[in-house]
Amino acid sequence: MVGSFWKDTVEDVRRAKRGWRWGHRAQVPRSAEPFVPPPSRNVYPNDWSRTPAAMVAREFAQKVGLEPVFRSQVRTRVEGLDTLARLSGPVIFAANHASHLDTPLLLLSLPDEWRRRTAVAAAADYFFDTWWRAVGSSLLFNTLPIDRRGGTMSATPGEVLRDGWSLVIFPEGTRSKDGWVGQFRMGAAYLAVEQGVPVVPVAHRGTFAAMPRGAGWPARGRRQLTVRFGDPLVPAEGESVRQFAPRIRDAVARLLDEEQTDWYAALRRSVSGETPDPSGPDVAQWRRVWASTQSPDVEPGKIRAWRG
Amino acid sequence: MTRPGFVLEVDDRTPPLLVHEGLGFRLEEFPLGTRVIYPPEPVATVPDVDQAIREALLNPVDSEPLPELLFAGMKLTIAFDDLSLPLPTMKAPDIRGRIIEQVLEMAAAAGVDDVELIAALALHRRMTADELRHVVGERVFRSFYPQGKLYNFDAEDPANLAHLGTTEKGEDVEISKRAAESDLLVYVNVNLVAMDGGHKSVGVGLASYKSIKHHHNAKTMVHSRSFMDHKHSEMHSSAWRMGRLIGESVKVFQIETTLDNNVFGKPYDFLMKREWEWSVKDQAAMLGMRRGLALAPQKLRHKLFHDLRGAYGLTGINAGAVEPVHERTVRKVHEQQRVKIEGQADVMVMGVPYLGPYNVNSTMNPILAACMGLGYYFNSYLGQPVVREGGVAILYHPLDEGFNTLHHPSYVDFYEEVLAESTDPHVIGPKFEEQFATDPWYIHLYRTSNAYHGVHPFYMWYWIAHALDHLGDVIWVGGDRRAASRMGFRAASTLQDALEMASGAVGTSPSITYLHNPPHLLADVR
């Protein structure tokens, strides 16, 4: 009797865990999608997350919790940090977006003094719809809610920049479905023009291969990630948002090209308009995904034993 | 904004789905492709209930306003639905009580002294004083019950029955004498489903066995397709004929109310949510309740469920002449319950919950469970049944609650003696019905105790006559094998086993449709 009770309890918990995908976002059956209620417009405020006390807590969470776990799961190579040495901040980091690993990769790649003063623009409807997601992501990643549905951004990112915080923005607005770069929205360019702050383009590779959409944890085998910071872009006098936005995307594309070649080759290709399109080749979807699932090889030519 | 009902197709993203089974529920993983019918969410309720009642009484449909029908020296009778509606019982104050209070305020203003209130329970069990108090409210109860002016209808009291004649089809119309001799009969309905109300209110609720037997029989029931569609229901046609005859001699002021489908209040509201939208809290509540129920003894589980009160809201109220009022009511009920479905299925799955109309504050014996599943849920359709002719019904219920000898004494004998001989409604009716209906002991218990009339179990069996006629097989998942077998059905341990058993009738890859209720839904099958 007692035995069967515990057995049934375990079975119930297992079924619930499997059925409601504990640890993952809930899924909606396809036939029920037309009947999903609009997501809550309720955004939990997180001004508290930029107070000194929260910064101390975050430092502890990132250094003691996040960083050791992150480094134990992936290998990283960071390039172009010398760019930051020439800047005094605040800046907007504009990066391509392929995985939930992008944010910790960027933050943990930054020098500590930059990391401590950098916030991450995060979708309000995704990260701020429940109090525990809002608190968790604010505390760990210093996220800042932005509205990605409407065209207008809330006033908060501008205020944060004015207060001297740098901001990470993923201009694509969502994670890539196949690892390649999508359309860039205007948000980063708009903020840069409005607030007069430089944009530091950032390109990274390997996060899609390590932890794509739908995965809850990085793949086994300490996958390689690379991240490259580019030269800051400053809106020219009288340059409009529409003119400035493509420059950001071009800069990210050039950095991605630089990953494959070298700085000078990428520069020359950029000048002659031959930078490969970061949105990837127009081939079958599986080939696009297949190519993206290859982790970057930071030491080509080195012969290694087979890894499991 | 209320979301409409819809048909879910189970896919790889679908979590396990809730299935009620008596005093509990389970989470079932249905085969991919199973269609699941979800009722609409609760529709908008009236902003001010008392104001809505007043409006309805002062601006009735095809009738003078109620105050104009009331005058000093008149004989006023107020009849109301018994506790079989709504399910579960409504949180106090009950809507009937609120309406009756306003009717009485108007009657008092008109100087009416001769007022009687009758619980229109036909052949159902008598309500206890507490149950009556809950329905009519404390003020009304205190004013009328001690004087004997608030009472249960007695269908076996010849001195207080009046024979009003026969319909063109030879059906006897015999109803409460008090109601028949009143200057005005006000009937207060709770129209939980489309079957309730209309001419069925007075024509059945206040009628005797002599009258009711004309439509409560296997032949009529098989040709009621369905009970939820009175224009295609033989039973309703008969009640309509009787009602029109009654209308020739009695002035009836019909009041019908419609409710939303908020059947489970907090913290059980997860039982009504769509599973993929369950929050962490809902999942925790589900797990806690499942494990708690597994530990709890039967009595505690019974108490837990039967103490639940529906948090219903009033969606509409109409008053006036019976037929136009009922048309409006049906439209409103459809708005809350109707779900369009394309085509019939090979297999229909239903979870029979702990409660049906005939076991309020009582036990759901196997006959009532069968009636709830194969009588009510099966028949809750418009057009054609959810399952094709020759298809299979799979029901969930343990069939182990036993019989309540206070409320259902004749059920015990019906189960032991009648069903042992035959389960065919067409056979048992002619052979045994008369004997049970006229048994002096059952009549005594019906009149003086709280027992259902002796003939009542036959009616339950007639309710399922259409399903038995239509279906190729009936299988109870988790059901007591002996009880299922006694009723002519089969039992299976799991859905997979049941589908295996059904494969003889519907093949190995049948189309399956699961009716996800409660809350109640009405399948509009095209």
Over residues A233-261, the pLDDT tens digits come to 999 888 899 999 999 999 999 999 998 88
Q: Could you give the percent of chain B with pLDDT greater than 70?
A: 100
Chain mean position to CA A307: 28
Please report residues of B whose CB lies closer than 8 A to that of A9: 291, 294
Predicted model pTM: 0.80
Written in H, E and C, the secondary structure of A151-181 is CCCCCHHHHHHHCCCEEEECCCCCCCCCCCC
Residue among B14, B27, B29 minimizing CB distance to A29:
B14
Instruction: Return d(Cα B27, Cα B15) in angstroms, integer.
Output: 9
Residue A268 lies in a domain: yes
Residue B2: the pLDDT is 84
Domains of chain B: 6-41+338-525 (3.90.226.30), 49-259 (3.40.50.11440)
For the record, the structure tokens of B100 come out as: 């009756």
Q: Read off the pLDDT of each residue in A109-114 and give the average, rounded to a whole number.
A: 93
Q: Which of residues 260-299 of B touch A (CB under 8 A)?
A: 274-278, 283, 286-287, 290-291, 294-295
Over residues A66-99, the pLDDT tens digits come to 999 999 999 999 999 988 888 887 999 999 999 9
- Could you tell me if A40 lies within 8 Å of chain B, comparing CB atoms? no
Q: How confident is the model at residue A150 (pLDDT cuts 50, 70, 90)?
A: low
Closest by Cα among B317, B77, B316 to B202: B77
ipTM of the complex: 0.86
Provide the number of CB pairs (under 8 Å) joining chain A to chain B: 59
Please report residues of A whose CB lies closer than 8 A to that of B294: 5, 8-9
- CB-hemisphere CA count at 13 Å for B130? 3
Residue A229 lies in a domain: yes
Over residues B433-442, the pLDDT tens digits come to 999 999 999 9
Over residues A14-24, the pLDDT tens digits come to 999 999 998 88
Residue among A12, A27, A34 minimizing CB distance to B276:
A27
Residue A215: the pLDDT is 84
Written in H, E and C, the secondary structure of B78-92 is EEEECCCCCCCCECC
Residue A146 lies in a domain: yes
Residue A47: the pLDDT is 82
Task: Give the mean pLDDT of chain B.
Answer: 95
Q: How confident is the model at residue A1 (pLDDT cuts 50, 70, 90)?
A: low
Instruction: Return d(Cα B290, Cα B266) in angstroms, integer.
Output: 16
- Could you tell me if A11 lies within 8 Å of chain B, comparing CB atoms? no
Please report residues of A whose CB lies closer than 8 A to that of B287: 12-13, 16
Token look-up 């529409």 returns A242
Residue among A15, A31, A37 minimizing CB distance to B8:
A31
Residue A305: the pLDDT is 65
Count how many domains chain A has: 1
Residue A239 lies in a domain: yes
Chain mean position to CA B244: 23
Residue B426: the pLDDT is 93
Residue B340: the pLDDT is 96
Please report residues of B whose CB lies closer than 8 A to that of A30: 9, 11, 13
B12: CB partners within 8 A, 6+ apart: B32
Residue A307 lies in a domain: no
Residue A153: the pLDDT is 43
Give the distance from residue B508's alpha carbon to the nearest chain A alpha carbon, in angstroms. Answer: 24
- CB-hemisphere CA count at 13 Å for B80? 30
Q: Are B516 and B38 in contact (CB under 8 A)?
A: yes
Over residues B130-188, the pLDDT tens digits come to 999 999 999 999 999 999 999 999 999 999 999 999 999 999 999 999 999 999 999 99
Chain mean position to CA B36: 22
Residue A100 lies in a domain: yes
For the record, the structure tokens of B189 come out as: 């309905």
Cα dihedral sign for A212, A218, A223, A229?
Answer: positive
Label residue B273 exposed, middle or buried (CB < 10 Å: 0-12, 13-18, 19+): middle
Over residues A253-298, the pLDDT tens digits come to 999 999 888 888 888 898 898 999 999 999 888 999 888 888 888 7
Residue B410: the pLDDT is 97
- Could you tell me if A9 lies within 8 Å of chain B, comparing CB atoms? yes
Residue A224 lies in a domain: yes
Residue A275 is classified by DSSP as P
Residue among B13, B277, B287 minimizing CB distance to A13:
B287
Residue A298: the pLDDT is 75
Residue among A8, A15, A28 minimizing CB distance to B276:
A28
Q: How confident is the model at residue A123 (pLDDT cuts 50, 70, 90)?
A: confident
Is residue A308 pLDDT above 50, yes or no? no
B380: CB partners within 8 A, 6+ apart: B193, B226, B228, B515, B517, B520, B521, B522, B523
Over residues A178-222, the pLDDT tens digits come to 999 999 998 899 999 988 999 999 999 999 999 998 888 999 889
- Could you tell me if A53 lies within 8 Å of chain B, comparing CB atoms? no
The CATH number covering residue A187 comes to 3.40.1130.10
Residue A279 lies in a domain: yes
Instruction: Return d(Cα A212, Cα B454) in angstroms, integer.
Output: 68
Closest by Cα among B225, B277, B262, B248 to B18: B277
Over residues A154-171, the pLDDT tens digits come to 547 888 899 899 999 999
B contact test, residue of A30, A129, A133 with most B CBs within 10 A = A30
Residue among A16, A30, A34 minimizing CB distance to B13:
A30
Per-residue CA distances from A129 to A44, A98, A171, B151, B284 (Å): 7, 22, 21, 55, 20
Q: Read off the pLDDT of each residue in B494-514 and give the average, rounded to a whole number.
A: 96
Residue A129: the pLDDT is 77
Please report residues of A whose CB lies closer than 8 A to that of B16: 15-16, 19
Label residue A173 exposed, middle or buried (CB < 10 Å: 0-12, 13-18, 19+): middle
Give the distance from residue A3's alpha carbon to the nearest chain B alpha carbon, in angstroms. Answer: 12
Give the distance from residue A184's alpha carbon to the nearest chain B alpha carbon, in angstroms. Answer: 31
Instruction: Return d(Cα A166, Cα A198) in angstroms, integer.
Output: 10
Over residues B291-347, the pLDDT tens digits come to 999 999 999 999 999 999 999 999 999 999 999 999 999 999 999 999 999 999 999
Domain containing residue A266:
47-292
